[in-house]
Amino acid sequence: MTLAKRKSKLALSRDNRWRLRKFVADYGVYIALLILLLVAALLTPKLFAVDTIAVVMRQASQLGIVAIGQTLVLLVAGLDLSVGGIFIMTSVVVAEVGNGRNEMIAPAILTALALGALVGLGNGLLVTKRRVPPFVATLGMLVLVKGATQAYTRGVPGGFVPEALGIVNQSWFVLSVPLALWLGLNAIFIFVLRGTTYGRRVYAVGSNIEAARLSGIPVDAIRISVYVLGSLFAVASGIVLTGYVLYVDRFIGSGLDLDSIAAAVVGGTAFIGGRGGLLGTIAGVLIIQILSTMVVLLGLDVEVQFIIKGLVILGAVTLYSVASTES
Amino acid sequence: MNEPILEMRGISKSFAGVQALKNVSFRCQAGLVYGLVGENGAGKSTLMKILAGAYKADAGEIIYKGMPRETASTGEIIDSGISIIYQELALVPQMSVAENIFLGREPRNRLGILDLGQLHARSNELLSRLGVALDTRLSVSELTIAQQQLVEIAKALSQDADLIVMDEPSAILAGSELDQLFDIIAALKAQGVTIVYISHRLEEVFRIADEVTVLKDGEVVDSRPISQLDRPTLVRLMVGRSLDEIFPQTDHEQGDLVLSAEDIETDTILDGVSLRLHAGEILGIAGMVGSGRTELARALFGADPLTHGEVRLVGKSLQWKTPSQAIRAGLVLVPEDRKSQGLFTALSVRINITIPILSRLSRLGIVRRPAEEGVVINAQQRLSIVMTSPEQETQYLSGGNQQKVVLAKWLETEPTVIILDEPTRGVDVGAKFEIYKLMRQLNDRGIAIIMISSELPEIIGMSDRILVMNDGRVAGELSRENADEERIIELATLGSAEAQLA
Amino acid sequence: MTISTLQDTTLDTLRYGKEQIMKKLFTLLLAISLALGVGAVSLAQDDDMSGMSFEFTEEQIAASPYLQSVLSRLEQSYDTSEFAKDGPYRIAFAAQGTSNAWSALMDAHAYWYVEHLGEDVVSELLYGDAQASADVQVPQVEDLLAQEPDALILVPMGAAALSAPVERAMMQGVPVVLCASAVETDNFVTEVGTNLWVVGASLAQYVVDQLDGEGNIVIMTGIPGVTTSDIMEEGADAVFAANPGIHVLDKQPGFWSPADAKGIMETWLVQYGDDIDGIWSGGAQMSQGIISAYLDAGLDIPPIGGGEWQNGFLRLALEHDIKYLAWQYPNAMITMCIDAALQILAGEPTPRFIDFSGVIPNSEPFTDVEGADYFREDWSDDVHGPITMPDEKLEELGFKVMDDGG
Amino acid sequence: MNGLGGIMGGQPQARALFLRRNGPIIMVYAFILLLIVIGATQSERFLSERNLANVARQSAFLGIVALGQMLVILTAGIDLSVGSLVKVSILVSAIVMNGENANVVPAILAALALGVLVGLVHGFLINELRIAPFIVTLASLVILKGIGLTISSSPVGKASREVMMFYVQKVGPLPVIALMFFVLVLLTMLLLRYTVFGKHLVAVGGHVEVAHLSGVPVKRTRYAVYVLCSLTAVVTGLLWLSRMGVGDPAIGDGIELQTITAVIIGGTSLFGGRASVLGTLGGVLLLGITANLLVMLGVSQFIQGLIQGVIIVAAVALYKQEGD
């Protein structure tokens, strides 16, 4: 009798703990987003105009798409710093292959995706086969990709971005092409992560690589595939960005690499892998984007944005850290 | 009566809602050897970690040398004269032997600079007191496990401790090394040093202890002088039942040969191991840590590639190179270290259990949720896993339930052979008993089991046959009838050739 | 040699198609060797070279150290006899480097011009690629100086960061020609560029004129902290401050990036919408982003003070009939920098400030009225005019000349 | 030292172990040698005293921070904020100094105080709030950059004449700044080999749990190492001030990645517990000589980035890393 009673009591306290932890992990970032929106309602009501929402969502999509890939890579306890190089490479490829001709858009995109996959493969092989820490492997690839793009273009990307790529700037009220793409990719990959064997394996590899190996999961193949996916999402973001500016830009997407990590981390994806997911990242992306829009709406200096962004990252991880720390 | 050097009163401690220690009191007098015994998970190590300052007790007080001890850092506690030799070796692999021995208390010269001459001289002196010849400049990662254990002991000696806690030092020491250890303990005792000796090898306890304290399920069951105890009494105190009650017996017939390994070798320590396993049989594998037991399991499972020999799963007669091939062929491994190799602690029970059988539960790569939930409910009932929901993360389950989740995960693959590496480590007695029952049930269904264990009663109680490993080789095979602890230890420490000579 | 050697030569290459290039190359070489003196011929009929002329007030000069420096240096000459030596010369060129097309074209002009001058004039062009970063450029200048060049041409990536290296070069006896931007010290021989304060002010004046002195405007600056951007901003601020009818709604940096510029413009558009009557922009790439944001929003585009002769910008502006004033910052000014270095090494007195405006042909500001004359269908978007080297060099560099469109 | 050496195990694989441990260092120096041979044969000025002094001085700028970074990485940490901290310290010291020789000491003190403060904040967040060093210092990178630009987005302050002269001072043929760097290299070697603190760094990085149980003051060690790393950054900031004469916020971005690259190329493990001062010195020199040589040889600017990328990827890929 007493034993049973004690057991149920123990179970209850364990129960509360993991439920609290899970609540913070799953919804903490949404609470933060809600608070941010309340602050915005007081300071910048303009944020809630349909036009503003449309702009915020479209800009968020550019970050959001690459953040999907970054989240996947973080889930297997990785990191991808090479995305910045991929943006530039994509922009150059679209201009060089596309060369102003709309019928060349598809070949241009395919070329960019193929090259992106190659970069991802390089990242994955370095991390799995040579056991290079992801930070260093993807940093090396970043320098390499930038250098290769530079060598190929000899400093000057030739060609033109085909005008039809401007389709990504189309929108119907709030729904723009990038937003649709972002939401669509999120829907697909939320399902992939939750409902498919592949998704399970991604989490398993990130959560405990040795256990995953002993469970018969081809861990190297999973990790390589995730790096390839990460690069492909970077290409997708690069294409949206290129269509956005319709111009080859050497600095295209600068800052989005670190922002994508920040978005995932703020969204609750753990740096050590296996924990978090895309729902959190969506909120992380929105927080970062709304903050930068508010800075413009308030007419604040850009430097303030850096400080706020840093504090938001720290605040979010502190929350997760405190919530997950055992007694 | 003398003043006790140490008195721990009413110590309680819980982890994530699991009570590890309940109102435990423990006292020691100077210059005596105390045996602290109890099954795995009884709370011995937790108690000692509280003593070491590595954990903070939830309740209770510690009086050391007549003074109530306030919370202190591990360094201050070491300085106060308490040193602990941990069960999991507490050495920094990248540092040298000498640096490890004096880690945290490095000798310095007047300028505050590390005195390397002294560091090595004193280390050598300590090691020679242990009768060990070891280059103090070698880094610890280059030592064998037994050598590392000796370094640990040297480290404790270096601390000029008044109280030394040894947490299962004998688990990895063998023969002459063990005799040396007992000599050292005797010498220390003569110098007035108090020793707390944690072990579940009872003969050792009877050999050296003056007083024995028994912990069970986080509570002190009894504490009395060794002279008032005999073996059966002590066993009953530890486990609460007699051995016959713990290890369920069934009559089952040995079936056909299902698994055979011929002269297998890997890049690890394994050196030409052969074995045969029949349906419905439990083959126990005993041996010291580092004898190649775990490596054998990994080799059979395809986790480490074979460099020589072959493994055959009879009936399928195929060779595998990866765990996934082994799993598909019907052979699974429940690894030794649950947390680092078996469990996805951050993931839910549901995901943990279904990971190896996802392809069966999915169509076109999409998991069929109802089928999956069915599996989880089935597993929960079969193994009576205590959890609040299939979505609960496994890190919030108790050790026993975690182990059941790992077992459930592998049982769902419907294997013909299961390798269990230390299946009851860190599991409470109740869960242990359930695991034994489960093993018998599996046997009855014709499933063959290889069980690796450090716990000799478990090996002897459960196995139909016992292979004893030593230095990567099979040192001997014992049948159930002629197996006893002495015989196994002899084989495990001396190896077959020496054992025959002896 | 004087600083105005090559001016007449370039028109032809601009005006004629590539089929004529071989022939033109000869003409070109001939023209260069013959041409002396200033021949500022304009592509368009607009000969008004004073497009950027500007009347400053005393207060404005007093408030701007930059203006004081430029205005005084315009009248000074540097006695370069201490640097006189016989050629051929080894000239170090610390470039902005492989960062954008403007800079790549400047490098191309430099290599072409040195080749064109011949080995007996410049035996070696030592090159440093700063990747548009002061961090990279400071050590690079040291590397270049370690090779003991006869002169240093520097496109400074930071006015402050490069000041001390410039002083050290001068101390070492290496004359320094600053190209396209200034440093904080006065201890250099000469600067080739234009009065950026006036550029900023003229662009602002254009906006003011377009609005008849009344209206709301937004200001998009380049990169805060970069001299070119800061000085232009200073000029713009002075003009807008002098026109009380102009209300500045907001000012944000667009980092000379079309993407950043578009993002900010989108936010402005939802915030102010039709209230924006005019835009001041610190660069053509940002103007592209601004136009793009307007096009997406489907709003009418107000006059923009801040285009450049950049083919992509002109394409957009022509297509959408945008009113703008374009300023110019020709990468071909590097040829003047090399000329200046040669002049110094010849020991001839050298003006302390050399304005390319009116020296390099077609480098004057222009508006949408003349825009069509500058636009080149066969150039890719990235090309910044004017180009004074032959078209082949442009193609060699990888600027795809657009196909016929299939 | 003792006669017992190697009786029990360890010795047979000694050579293999030596190679495994020192392989990256040997490789880096072989690479440097190769570059020197190329430089000496292809450019008459590469081996000139002047250029060598130049390379040595430039190496100090990356090298000093790389030493701090290496110590942090040794404890299985990382410091991404050093670049931003260099930026802020340039601005702070330039403003305090304001061209006055009398203000040199206050300026140095202000910069050092800044370094200590930043290091303590890092230590606090990592120790007490248990946030991963990567995230802590990433946030700090962004925040410090913001603070730097808030202080001033355009050049401010001024170095005193003496401070500017410091940059060109020499002892014999060797620039003082290079000498300073080499002394720091030596001190770091001594620190790791002969001090208790050095051993504690290894212990914390090698096995933090063991270190804790052995009485190593883990938290204090972490505080100290992050403070040290921040101090190397502010010292580099002061050197930049001496180099430029003014506080320019344009400086500093990206230094963190260069230092990490140098440290990793030098064979230090990102997993902690193993570091090599000589290797880090090699990594710094390799990057420095490569940059110098690219300018010296007039290598086409278009392929410079590619060459650097290939060197980094090759260096990290050639040696299979431990851990996982």
Q: What pLDDT sits at residue D71? A: 97
Lowest mean pLDDT among A126-135, A241-250, C64-73, D219-228: A241-250
Across the interface, of C267, C292, C380, the residue whose CB is closest to A245 is: C292
Alpha-carbon gap: A324 to the closest alpha carbon of chain B (Å): 10
**What is the chain A residue with the closest CA to B20?**
A10
Across the interface, of B301, B386, B396, the residue whose CB is closest to A18 is: B396
Compute the mean pLDDT over every residue in chain D, rounded to the nearest whole number.
87
Chain B residues close to A75, C-beta within 8 Å: none
Compute the mean pLDDT over every residue in chain B, rounded to the nearest whole number.
83
The CATH classification number of C196-326 equals 3.40.50.2300
Which structure tokens are listed for A209?
Answer: 């690589």
Indicate the pLDDT class of residue B181, thresholds 50, 70 and 90: confident
Name, in order, each residue with C-beta under 8 angstroms of D288's C-beta and a sequence gap of 6 or more: D55, D58, D59, D62, D63
Residues 149-188, chain D: which have Cβ within 8 Å of A?
A: 149-150, 153
Residue B474 has φ and ψ, to the nearest 5°, of -80, 115
What residue ranges of chain D have pLDDT lower than 70? 1-21, 300-301, 319-324
**What is the chain C residue with the closest CA to D295?**
C128
* CA distance linking residue C258 with residue C312, whole number of Å: 11
* CA distance linking residue A179 with residue C259, whole number of Å: 17
Across the interface, of D61, D154, D292, the residue whose CB is closest to C224 is: D154
Q: What pLDDT sits at residue A157? A: 67
Is residue A77 within 8 Å of A273, Cβ to Cβ?
yes
CB–CB contacts below 8 A, A to C: 113
CA dihedral sign, ordered B95, B96, B100, B104: negative
Q: What pLDDT sits at residue D1? A: 35
Alpha-carbon gap: A241 to the closest alpha carbon of chain C (Å): 7
Chain C residues close to A49, C-beta within 8 Å: 270
Residue B269 has φ and ψ, to the nearest 5°, of -75, -20
Residues 25-44, chain A: which have Cβ within 8 Å of D?
A: none
Q: Taking residues C113-137, what's their average pLDDT?
A: 89
Name, in order, each residue with C-beta under 8 angstroms of A14's C-beta and a sequence gap of 6 or more: B16, B17, B18, B388, B396, B397
Residues 199-218, chain A: which have Cβ within 8 Å of B?
A: 200-201, 203-204, 207-208, 210-218
* C27 pLDDT more than 50: no
Asked if C135 and D58 come within 8 Å (Cβ–Cβ), the reply is no
Q: What pLDDT sits at residue C44? A: 34
Q: Taking residues C231-245, what's their average pLDDT?
A: 93
DSSP letters spanning D35-66: HHHHHHHH-TTTTSHHHHHHHHHHHHHHHHHH
Query: How do beta strands C77-78 and C350-351 pair?
Result: antiparallel
C–B contact: 3+ Cβ pairs < 8 A: no
Across the interface, of D244, D295, D301, the residue whose CB is closest to C163 is: D244
Q: Which of A51, A55, A176 to mutate to test the interface with C (most CBs of C within 10 A)?
A: A55
Chains in contact with C via at least 3 Cβ–Cβ pairs below 8 Å? A, D
Across the interface, of D149, D154, D298, the residue whose CB is closest to C126 is: D298
**C162 Cβ under 8 Å from any chain D Cβ:** yes
C–D contact: 3+ Cβ pairs < 8 A: yes
**A2 Cβ under 8 Å from any chain B Cβ:** no
Strand B211-216: give its sheet, edge to edge: B82-85, B163-167, B194-198, B33-37, B211-216, B219-225
Q: What pLDDT sits at residue D10? A: 39
Please name the residue that has the structure tokens 């947490």: B167
DSSP letters spanning A144-165: HHHHHHHHHHTTS--S---GGG
* A292 pLDDT more than 60: yes
Share of chain C above pLDDT 70, in %: 84
Q: Which of C105, C111, C142, C145 to mutate to test the interface with D (most CBs of D within 10 A)?
A: C142
In tens, the pLDDT along B333-364 reads: 988 777 778 889 888 999 999 998 888 888 88
* CA distance linking residue B20 with residue B43, whole number of Å: 6
Q: Taking residues B263-270, what's their average pLDDT?
A: 85
Alpha helices by DSSP H, listed for B41-115, are 44-52, 74-79, 97-101
Residue D159 CB neighbours (<10 A): 31
Residue A314 CB neighbours (<10 A): 22
Chain D residues close to B94, C-beta within 8 Å: 202, 205-206, 273-274
Chain B residues close to A270, C-beta within 8 Å: 346
Chain B residues close to D205, C-beta within 8 Å: 94
Across the interface, of A55, A58, A157, the residue whose CB is closest to C382 is: A157
Backbone conformation region of residue C304, classed left if phi is above 0, alpha if psi is from -120 to 50, else beta: beta
Chain C residues close to D252, C-beta within 8 Å: 135
Lowest mean pLDDT among B343-352, B412-421, C99-108: C99-108
Exposed, middle or buried by CB within 10 Å (0-12, 13-18, 19+), for B80?
middle
* CA distance linking residue A239 with residue B59, whole number of Å: 61
Q: Taking residues A141-153, what's their average pLDDT?
A: 87
Indicate the pLDDT class of residue B319, thresholds 50, 70 and 90: low
Strand C122-129: give its sheet, edge to edge: C122-129, C89-95, C151-154, C176-179, C190-193, C353-355
How far apart, in Å, do the first and last CA atoms of chain C sit? 47
Q: What pLDDT sits at residue A151? A: 83
Alpha-carbon gap: A189 to the closest alpha carbon of chain B (Å): 12
Better pLDDT: C135 or D62: D62
CB–CB contacts below 8 A, C to D: 113
Largest CA-CA distance found in chain A, in angstroms, rounded: 81
Share of chain A above pLDDT 70, in %: 90
Across the interface, of A22, A208, A327, the residue whose CB is closest to B343 is: A208
Indicate the pLDDT class of residue C38, thresholds 50, 70 and 90: very low
Asked if A258 and D142 come within 8 Å (Cβ–Cβ), the reply is yes
Chain A residues close to C220, C-beta within 8 Å: none
* CA distance linking residue C79 with residue C380, whole number of Å: 43
Asked if A217 and B19 come within 8 Å (Cβ–Cβ), the reply is no
Q: Taking residues B162-185, what's their average pLDDT?
A: 76
Across the interface, of D5, D205, D207, the residue whose CB is closest to B135 is: D5
Better pLDDT: C170 or B42: C170
Lowest mean pLDDT among A42-51, B92-101, B477-486: B477-486
* B260 pLDDT more than 70: yes
Angle CA A109–A293–A317, to nearest 5: 85
pTM of the model: 0.83
* B499 pLDDT more than 60: no
Alpha-carbon gap: B113 to the closest alpha carbon of chain D (Å): 5
Asked if A17 and B392 come within 8 Å (Cβ–Cβ), the reply is no
* A2 pLDDT more than 50: no
* CA distance linking residue D118 with residue C282, whole number of Å: 36
Chain B residues close to A15, C-beta within 8 Å: 388, 392
Q: What pLDDT sits at residue B174? A: 60
Chain A residues close to D306, C-beta within 8 Å: 144, 147-148, 150-151
CB–CB contacts below 8 A, A to D: 145
The ipTM of this complex is 0.80
DSSP letters spanning A178-189: HHHHHHHHHHHH
Give me the residue spans of the domains in chain C: 196-326
Q: Which of B393, B405, B413, B418 to mutate to test the interface with A (most CBs of A within 10 A)?
A: B393
Which structure tokens are listed for C282?
Answer: 């610190």
Indicate the pLDDT class of residue C224, thresholds 50, 70 and 90: confident
Q: Which of B51, B94, B122, B177 to mutate to test the interface with D (most CBs of D within 10 A)?
A: B94
Q: What pLDDT sits at residue C50? A: 40
Alpha-carbon gap: C324 to the closest alpha carbon of chain A (Å): 19
List of E strands, C8-154: 77-78, 89-95, 122-129, 151-154
Chains in contact with B via at least 3 Cβ–Cβ pairs below 8 Å? A, D
**A100 Cβ under 8 Å from any chain C Cβ:** yes
Q: What pLDDT sits at residue A5? A: 45
Chain C residues close to A244, C-beta within 8 Å: 259, 262, 292
Tell me the residue type at B452.
I
* CA distance linking residue D16 with residue C47, whole number of Å: 79
Indicate the pLDDT class of residue C11, thresholds 50, 70 and 90: very low
Asked if C146 and D45 come within 8 Å (Cβ–Cβ), the reply is yes
**C157 Cβ under 8 Å from any chain D Cβ:** yes
Asked if C225 and D292 come within 8 Å (Cβ–Cβ), the reply is no
Residue B298 CB neighbours (<10 A): 23
